[in-house]
Amino acid sequence: MAHDHPEHHHDNELDPMAARVRALETILTEKGLVDPKAIDAIVDTYETKVGPRNGARVVAKAWSDPEFSGWLQRDATEAISSLGYTGRQGEHMQAVFNTSDTHNLVVCTLCSCYPWSVLGLPPVWYKAPPYRSRAVIDPRGVLAEFDLVLPETTKIRVWDSTAELRYLVVPLRPAGTEGFSEEQLAELVTRDSMIGTGLALTPEAA
Amino acid sequence: MSLRDLITHSKGLPSQGGSPAFVEPWQAEAFAMVVALHDRGLFTWDEWAHALSAELKRPGALEDASDYYHCWLEALETLVVTKNVAARSEVEALAASWQRAAHATPHGEPIRLENDPDRS
């Protein structure tokens, strides 16, 4: 039966998940534990305000400003919060810098811990079992799935995130970007390059 | 679903880094409730990560992570129950009430709990 009867348009239906969420929201609101307006504000923040552009600004600044880069290396939590990006779970941040011989890759094997304040919410693959289970045991194979093939001599370091410690990869600055402003540089920094499943774009590719 | 499919899928969807954060509104609400309850101090983020991890590790977790927010909601319910905020039976009864209310609400009107014909 593929068609609804036109004269019997259906009533509202709530799927079981939506009904459970409403039930929880009702209970938690009655108990004064959540405020529906605060819920809306949180959704809005994560849907529209927080995203990988924040991280891209951090990386672009690190590329342009050696002093900031040093700070980011020593105390990423403080350096990042100086740009106005602070985590709300009290988590610490660590910046891991790619070099000509080491590539960094971030995963959360436990669940899906991710540096929300600088990257927004994680992409689907980051939360999915194939990535979470394979990144540690076969990082090179995982990177190949992203069409990222590194020289055999490049060492790959895998960082497993936790609730308390989240990682931001600082990719290598692409060649041919001398004299670029921070804004121009930020355009080259992709989300994947800050997780380690990609590289920063070259000016030609951007 | 393979990792490659997941990556391709993420790339095919709109918004700046790929797929949208939430596929359905209830996912966004469940997400925000966890953030709000943590802000409120009901649990630590470490407790949350472990509760979520326990759900994600259950046998039968889907390879494409399409059940991610189901796990998220399950973990939230578990914490609400273990922190003695509400009993599971209370959540279930209220969810059923919301479904009856939805059913009794004419299409296009906002669903209100009062519309549940069985609500005492």
Gyration radius of chain A over CA positions: 21
Domain extents in chain A: 16-48, 51-195
Q: Residue B100: inside a domain, yes or no? A: yes
Q: Residue B7: inside a domain, yes or no? A: no
C-beta atoms of B21 and A113 within 8 A: no
Across residues A4-12, what is the average pLDDT? 51
The verdict on A109 touching B (C-beta cutoff 8 Å) is no
Q: Do the beta carbons of residue A38 and residue A156 sit within 8 Å?
A: no
Which band of pLDDT confidence, cut at 50, 70 and 90, is reported for residue A6? very low
The verdict on A113 touching B (C-beta cutoff 8 Å) is yes
Instruction: Provide, as residue numbers in chain A, all residues whose Cβ is less than 8 Å from the Cβ of B103.
Output: 11-13
- Give the model confidence (pLDDT) of A19-52 as tens digits: 999 999 999 999 999 999 999 999 988 888 888 9
Domain range enclosing B52: 23-115
Residue type, B101: A
Query: Which helix (H) or strand (E) is B30 found in, with range?
Result: helix B25-39
The percentage of chain A sitting over the pLDDT mark of 90, rounded to a whole number, equals 75
Mean pLDDT for chain B?
86
Q: Do the beta carbons of residue A121 and residue A46 sit within 8 Å?
A: yes
Q: What is the pLDDT of residue A149?
A: 95
- Give the model confidence (pLDDT) of B103-112 as tens digits: 888 877 888 8
- Give the model confidence (pLDDT) of A51-68 as tens digits: 899 999 999 999 999 999
Measure CA A13 to chain center: 34
A129 CA: distance to closest CA in chain B (Å):
5
Instruction: Provide, as residue numbers in chain A, all residues whose Cβ is less than 8 Å from the Cβ of B37.
Output: 28, 33-34
Q: What is the pLDDT of residue A206?
A: 76
* H, E, C per residue of chain A: CCCCCCCCCCCCCCCHHHHHHHHHHHHHHHCCCCCHHHHHHHHHHHHHHCCHHHHHHHHHHHHHCHHHHHHHHHCHHHHHHCCCCCCCCCCEEEEEECCCCEEEEEECCCCCCCCHHHHCCCCHHHHCHHHHHHHHHCHHHHHHHCCCCCCCCCEEEEEECCCCEEEEEECCCCCCCCCCCHHHHHCCCCHHHHHCCCCCCCCCCC
Query: What is the count of structural domains for chain B?
Result: 1
Nearest to residue A21, comparing CAs of A34, A2, A7? A34
Tokens 């914490």 locate to: B79
- Give the model confidence (pLDDT) of A110-167 as tens digits: 888 999 899 988 888 999 899 999 999 999 999 999 999 999 999 999 999 998 899 9
Q: Residue B79: inside a domain, yes or no? A: yes
Across residues A68-85, what is the average pLDDT? 96
Q: What is the pLDDT of residue B37?
A: 96
Residue A130 CA to residue A136 CA, distance in Å, equals: 11
Nearest beta carbon to residue B21 from set A21, A47, A164: A47
Gyration radius of chain B over CA positions: 17
Count contacts between A and B (CB, < 8 Å). 202
Residue A97 CA to residue B113 CA, distance in Å, equals: 53
Mean pLDDT for chain A?
91
- Give the model confidence (pLDDT) of B51-96 as tens digits: 999 999 888 888 888 899 999 999 999 999 999 999 999 999 999 9
Q: Residue B48: inside a domain, yes or no? A: yes
Instruction: Say what the ipTM of the complex is.
Output: 0.87
- The CATH code of domain A51-195 reads 3.90.330.10
- Give the model confidence (pLDDT) of A93-108 as tens digits: 999 999 999 999 999 9
Residue A53 CA to residue A190 CA, distance in Å, equals: 8
Q: Residue B10: inside a domain, yes or no? A: no
Across residues B14-25, what is the average pLDDT? 63
